[in-house]
C-alpha cells in the first residue's frame, strides 16, 4: 500500500527560513523544514510534499489540487493569512483536513497579525511552536481517520 499524500504548503517569505528574522522564525532553514516534514511524514505513513510560493495564485491552484484530490493539507499561509480572501475561499473548498500552522504565535506580534481569514475554514490551527508547529500538524493528520 502506498503512503497517503499530504501537501505542506508555505506562503510568502517562508523559503527564507534560517536567514529571515531568526529571533522570530528560528534558525532552521527551509531545507531543514522540508527534511523534517518529509522524515516525520514517512514515519507516520505519509508522502509529505513540501512547497513554498510567494505567488497568491499559485497557492490557490495548490489548494484546488488538494480539494480535487482529497489531499490533506498543512498550510502556513504566511502574510496571506491576514488578507487573502481568494486563498481563504480555496481553502474552504477542502475535501480533507486542512491544518493552519504558524511558526510564531501571531497573537504575540503586531495587531494586524491577530486576524486569520483562513482559521474559520481550517480543521484547526497550530501556532507558536516554531518548526514544531508543522510536526504537530502532521501528527494530528495521522490521528485522523482515513476515508
- List average pLDDT for each run of 10 residues in the chain, which is 147 residues long: 85 69 60 94 96 95 98 94 91 97 78 81 94 96 73
Q: HEC profile for 52-99?
A: ECCCHHHHHHHHHHHHHHCCCEEEECHHHHHCCHHHHHHHHCCCCCEE
Q: Which residues of 60-91 are buried (b: 16+ CB within 10 A; e: fewer)?
A: bebbeebbeeebbbbbbbbebbbebeebbebb
- Number of domains the chain contains: 1
Consult the annotation and say whether 54 binds a ligand: no
Which letter does DSSP use for residue 124 in this model? E
Give me the catalytic one of 83, 102, 107, 134: 102
CATH (domain of 53): 3.40.50.9100
Give me the catalytic one of 25, 107, 114, 134: 25
pTM tops 0.75, yes or no: yes
pLDDT of residue 83: 79
Phi and psi of 132, rounded to 5°?
-60, -25
Consult the annotation and say whether 82 binds a ligand: yes
Consult the annotation and say whether 113 binds a ligand: yes
pLDDT of residue 147: 43
Range of the domain at 33: 4-143
Active site residue 83: no
pLDDT of residue 28: 67
Nearby residues of 102 by Cβ (< 8 Å), 6 or more positions away: 76, 81, 125, 126, 127, 128, 133
The CB-side HSE value for 41 (13 A sphere, CA atoms) comes to 22
Sheet arrangement for strand 124-127: 46-52, 4-10, 73-76, 98-102, 124-127
Consult the annotation and say whether 4 binds a ligand: no
Active site residue 25: yes
Amino acid at each position: 500500500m502506498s503512503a497517503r499524500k499530504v501537501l505542506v504548503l508555505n506562503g510568502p517569505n517562508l523559503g527564507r527560513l534560517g536567514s529571515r528574522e531568526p529571533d522570530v522564525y528560528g534558525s532552521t532553514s527551509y531545507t531543514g523544514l522540508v527534511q523534517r516534514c518529509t522524515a516525520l511524514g514517512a514515519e507516520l505513513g505519509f508522502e509529505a510534499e513540501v512547497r513554498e510560493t510567494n505567488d497568491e495564485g499559485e497557492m490557490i491552484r495548490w489548494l484546488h489540487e488538494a480539494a480535487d484530490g482529497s489531499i490533506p493539507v498543512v498550510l502556513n499561509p504566511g502574510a496571506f493569512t491576514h488578507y487573502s480572501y481568494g486563498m481563504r475561499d480555496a481553502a474552504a473548498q477542502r475535501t480533507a483536513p486542512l491544518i493552519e500552522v504558524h511558526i510564531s504565535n501571531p497573537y504575540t506580534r503586531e495587531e494586524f497579525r491577530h486576524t486569520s481569514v483562513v482559521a474559520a475554514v481550517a480543521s484547526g490551527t497550530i501556532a507558536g511552536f516554531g518548526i514544531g508547529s508543522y510536526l504537530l500538524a502532521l501528527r494530528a493528520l495521522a490521528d485522523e481517520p482515513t476515508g
